[in-house]
Amino acid sequence: MAAKVTIVNNGPIRIEGEFTIYDAEGNSFGLSGRTVISLCRCGMAENKPFCDGSHGRRGFSSECKARDLPPPLPKF
């Protein structure tokens, strides 16, 4: 199943399905077979990049509505 990514209003980025998460050096996080994970979007989680609910305790507010992006700029 392809991964589904949902931006939760006032909350995290939720990923469901089959996926792998890598750090900046290309190492994969051990997800212990999880097929659902939430990534921190507020920057306050103690266990980044994973959500720990800090957004709710600290009043993080952000709503993202779906929209079409413009075409990518040409690469020179």
Residue 7's pLDDT is 97
Fold category of 1-61 in CATH: Ribosomal Protein L9; domain 1 (3.40.5)
pLDDT higher than 90, residue 42? yes
Token representation of residue 12: 């995290």
Length of the chain equals 76
pTM of the model: 0.87
At position 59, the amino acid (one-letter code) is G
| Residue among 43, 45, 19, 23 at smallest CA distance from 33 | 19
Residue 2's pLDDT is 87
